[in-house]
Structure 1
Amino acid sequence: MQRFTTILLFACVSLAGCVTQPVPMYRLDNGNVEMPAQAADGAAILLGPIELADYLRQDALLQRQPDGSLAANGQQARWAGDLQGDINQLLLRQLASRLKTQSLELSPGSNGFSPDVQIELEITRLDSGPQHPAVLEAHWRLLDKQGKRQGSRLVRLQEDHRGSATDQVRAQSVLLHRLSEMLASAVEPIVVAKTQAKRNIVKAPSKPASPPTIPAVEPIRTEMEVFRF
């Protein structure tokens, strides 16, 4: 009996030692955005394709090490869900708020959606580390309705943080907000021009046609006189 009790106690201790700590999971912060009201004359914008660097296509929250290499977080921290989807939704909502339009869709867009502007975006870097600031590197291209390039730019943004994984994710979110602000500033002149063109298409009400003018009849005068007796 004594031997059985000892074995059972050992088993309980072993099971207690196997309890694992919950894995911390993080999501990007979309920010406090105000969605604009639906407007019939709002410019149509197609966002994407948005391409991410290969190392960002995984669940692990990678950390930039002192030597510049990347490694998984010591707590095995992960992204909650798909990082690609989080970035897509963050940029979509930020652009809708900044450009005051509801006519935004993610590439390839729905059937019948005809964009005035398309934003192609490539994010080649988005990371940070306990001793490294958050860094975002990206390249965007703007295309008009005919697919003609209207502009492009390479950007590198940086944001400091306090070192914790939570604050690193906050800093990365801030960088994406700043990217959306720059995109909105680049797109806005095209949007304004397109919106103005749509409004000019609306014809002013035509005036009713005036009836034809009939010239007044004047009496015909001759030199002949009529005498009556």
Structure 2
Amino acid sequence: MLRRLSVLAGLLLCAVVAGCTSQPSNFYILSAPVSASTEAVQTTRRRGPLIGVGPITMPQYLDRTEIVTRDTATSVNVNEQNRWGGGLTENFQNVLAEVLSEQLRTDRLFLYPWTTSGDMTYQITVQVNAFEARPDGQVVLDARWTVLSGGTQEVITMGRTLLREPVSTAPTGVSGPDYTRIAAAMSRSVARLAQEIAASGLRS
């Protein structure tokens, strides 16, 4: 009996120690760059094209709360402590839409899935093939995208974008991945993708 109580007390002590020493999770989001023109605009741009953004498809290994980085060509690291503050696919879609809005000078956007499309000018779909930080200090975004006519669903243009965005150097004394800088580099990658799509022949 005393032995059983001793074992139980030991287990409880281990649980308490583990709970006290475990570190809280850090949460990150993608964000669109804030330009001077965006800060100056206070009214909704109601005369630009009406754009539907989505669906965005993300590989299953990336579409999770934990931030994923790539170790080698065939292995990834899923970080339990550093997480997205929401769904990565939805966050990606929001940033893409925000930058498209700025590039095409319109606030008339629908995010997939929409309940009504109105008289939509364009629908933009994106298939993400890769989107993670690599051991060489760069974020890689590999995406195929299609611009459809909102009315007929005919393909207007399509393309593949392969971007490499450097992760800014961490301060001296910081070891291991700096997830704040990784999230910033990933944000810049999504913004560059939106700029490329907007420059593909879409009319503002």
Say whether the fold is shared (TM-score over 0.5).
yes
Question: Is the 8 Å Cα contact of residues 24 and 81 (structure 2) preserved in structure 1?
Answer: no
Distance 1:172 1:98 in 2: 19
Alpha-carbon deviations, 1:100-133, whole Å to 9, x = none?
Answer: 1111111243325221111111111100145442
Q: State the SS of the aligned residue for 1:21.
A: coil
After TM superposition, the structure 1 stretch with the greater mean CA deviation from structure 2, 103-112 or 167-176, is 103-112
Q: Give the corresponding residue for 1:96.
A: 101
Structure with greater strand percent: 2
Higher relative CO (CA 8 A, sep ≥ 6), structure 1 or 2?
Answer: 2
Q: Give the corresponding residue for 2:173.
A: none
Q: Is 2:165 aligned against 1:159?
A: yes
**1:45-60 alignment runs, 5 A limit:** 45-60=51-66
Gaps of 5+ in 2: 1-8, 170-176
Q: Give the corresponding residue for 2:174.
A: none
Residues 29/42 of structure 1: CA separation in 2 closer, same or farther (3 Å cut): closer
1:143 Cα deviation after fit? 1.2
**1:69-218 alignment runs, 5 A limit:** 69-73=75-79, 76-111=81-116, 113-144=118-149, 145-161=151-167, 162=169, 163-188=177-202, 191-192=203-204
Distance 2:119 2:139 in 1: 36
Residues 60/141 of structure 1: CA separation in 2 closer, same or farther (3 Å cut): same
Task: Give the percent of matched residue pairs that are identical in Structure 1 and Structure 2.
Answer: 23
Q: State the SS of the aligned residue for 2:182.
A: helix
* RMSD between aligned residues: 2.7
Equivalent residues, number: 183
Gaps of 5+ in 1: 1-7, 193-229
1:29 Cα deviation after fit? 2.1
Instruction: With the length of structure 2 as denominator, give the TM-score of the two structures.
Output: 0.78
1:32 Cα deviation after fit? 1.0
Instruction: With the length of structure 1 as denominator, give the TM-score of the two structures.
Output: 0.70
Distance 2:69 2:124 in 1: 29
Residues 104/36 of structure 1: CA separation in 2 closer, same or farther (3 Å cut): farther
